[in-house]
Amino acid sequence: MTEIILTPEQMRGAHDYLGGDTTVLGQLFEQVAPGQNVKLPVTPETVFYIEGIWRLLVDKGLKPSLMPSEGLNAREEEFVHDFKHFFLKSAPPGEANPSSMLSDAMALLCHGSMAFLTLGPGPVPERQTMPSVVLIGAYGGEHVGDAAILGGVLLGLHHDYGTVHATIMSKRPEHTRRLASALDTPVEVTVVPYGHREIGKEIAVSDGLVFAGGPLMDLPRMLVMHLKAARLAAIHQVPFVVRNVGVGPFKRKLSRWIARQIAMHAAVFTVRTSKAAKAPELKGIDVKIGHDPAFDYLNSRPADLGKLTAPEQQSVDQLLDGTKGRTLIGVNIRPIRHDWSDRGETFSREAEKRCYEECSKAMIQLAQTSTQPVTFVFFPMNPIQLGASDLESAFILHQIVEDQIDFRVLEADPDVDGVLYLLRRLDAAIAMRFHGCIFCLSQQIPTFGIDYYPGQGGKVEQLFTDNDLSARVRIMDQVQADWLQDGLHAVVQQLNASPEHKDMKQSAEGIV
């Protein structure tokens, strides 16, 4: 049986094929037999397309495999590594924060005892100035939304405490270092491994310990590390500040106890939503209500987007080619973890399946009834496999809608300004990732949110409620095509009737 090696054009053709264009891949599928081996070349030109083409080949009964990568930069190498590790080897998506009973027990036994033994005095009072801080959170597993959080955290620390240097503790320093380098703030950043040896060393020479950039939730290994850091800060007489975090969800009583211990060590504790302030883990603690720091950074970005790179601009320009005069609806849907559902995995899986179907139905109905042509543009907030790739959801949606709508997918891994460059072209958006919603709302884009905690709701619902937008959000299991289609239709009609929007749209289209 002859081995097939795809061309770069074929590598990029998965979503074109799903959209009805068979010119690139149609002939290949007609000629190959089921079980045929197909090699995928991994180059700078093809790297971000490997998930879509891989899924399509498997659907066609073929056996894809990756060829050795050539000429990739650090970001692209990391993308391939995560694809191999979390997709091909089926490692848990939250491997850095494992949820199995055995791994959690080992973490608490080995690392937890170290934290519990470092008992120190109570919280150190807040200081007016903290020129140098240590930052802890979920760094290392972050995506572009978390990068925006970091940008906002740094701006806020500089404004409130005069911070000029931050040492970020990260599970994957190179990953965090790359995302941080694309930010534009007045704070110098150093990234070091988040390890037991490094924690005390860095805290001892800092002016403050700050927990920001990641929720306080049921991630046992991270909770233990955070508790140890908080207690070491007390020992070294360094104030511990928690800024604009989320709280929960929790499944384990021990995790709840550790989270409460962390909160009790804080001189200042601020949450990002009103509902988070009511979390039982924070009962009796003086909690302030703030907002997600990503808003601060996103609102600071100028019209010229000074950190936008040429490749990012080119990928968006190519994606939107031929859309002048069309209504552009952004779409960001994410895969979900079914083990978090209070109503069980079966309920969660069925809710996710219905959500895809209802969203697809609404998109098709809008395209068929709109007086102006509509293009749906899928933008991933997390295209890497750690934390579940949004490109999986893009593929599933495109399989359902097929060629009934103009559906385009940004197969890329952009930084903050790259995402904003695309979003500023949109007329409206459907978003599920928390920071997909925040990115859109920060740019005043009419946005319909989908909360990805079926049967219970979570931070997406809280975000919209706190911003007086409860009519524009639904929990995943409550999404209905009519709600989404009617809402989008009303928004589009209103925008098309606005001279100001038409002028802004023409101006934005003139950029491309």
Domains of the chain by residue range: 4-72, 101-297, 303-509
Mention the CATH class of domain 303-509: alpha beta
Residue 232, CA atoms < 13 Å, CB-side half-sphere: 25
Euclidean distance between CA atoms 59 and 53, whole angstroms: 10
Burial class (CB within 10 angstroms; exposed 0-12, middle 13-18, buried 19+) of 31: exposed
471-482: average pLDDT: 98
Confidence label for 177 from pLDDT (cuts 50, 70 and 90): very high
What pLDDT does 481 receive? 98
Q: Do 333 and 432 form a contact (C-beta atoms < 8 A)?
A: yes
Q: Is 417 left (phi over 0), alpha (psi -120 to 50) or beta?
A: alpha
DSSP character at residue 339: G
382-387: average pLDDT: 90
Enter the tokens of residue 303: 């019209």
Label residues 393-426 b or e (16+ Cβ within 10 Å = b): bbbbbbebbeeebbbbbbbbbbbbbbbbbbbbbb
119-126: average pLDDT: 74
Q: DSSP string covering 119-151, please?
A: ---SPPPP-S--SEEEEESSTTS--HHHHHHHH
121-127: average pLDDT: 84
Strand segments, DSSP code E, in 137-239 are 165-170, 188-193, 208-211
Euclidean distance between CA atoms 314 and 370, whole angstroms: 29
Q: Do 130 and 157 form a contact (C-beta atoms < 8 A)?
A: yes
What pLDDT does 3 receive? 82
User: Hey, how many other C-beta atoms are within 10 angstroms of the C-beta on 465?
Assistant: 16
What pLDDT does 373 receive? 96
Contacts for 482 with CB less than 8 Å, ≥ 6 apart: 362
Helix (H) or strand (E) holding 240: strand 240-245
Domains 101-297 and 303-509 share a fold: yes
What pLDDT does 106 receive? 56
Percent of the chain exceeding pLDDT 70 equals 91
Confidence label for 89 from pLDDT (cuts 50, 70 and 90): confident
Q: Do 56 and 17 form a contact (C-beta atoms < 8 A)?
A: yes
321-325: average pLDDT: 95
CATH code of the domain occupying 101-297: 3.40.50
Pairing of strands 428-431, 188-193: unpaired
Strand segments, DSSP code E, in 249-388 are 268-271, 288-289, 327-332, 374-378
Euclidean distance between CA atoms 492 and 501, whole angstroms: 11
Q: Do 336 and 353 form a contact (C-beta atoms < 8 A)?
A: no
Euclidean distance between CA atoms 287 and 271, whole angstroms: 7
Q: Do 290 and 272 form a contact (C-beta atoms < 8 A)?
A: yes
Confidence label for 98 from pLDDT (cuts 50, 70 and 90): very low
Euclidean distance between CA atoms 376 and 374, whole angstroms: 7
- pLDDT, tens digit (0-9, with 9 covering 90-100), for 34-75: 999 999 999 999 999 999 999 999 999 999 999 999 999 989
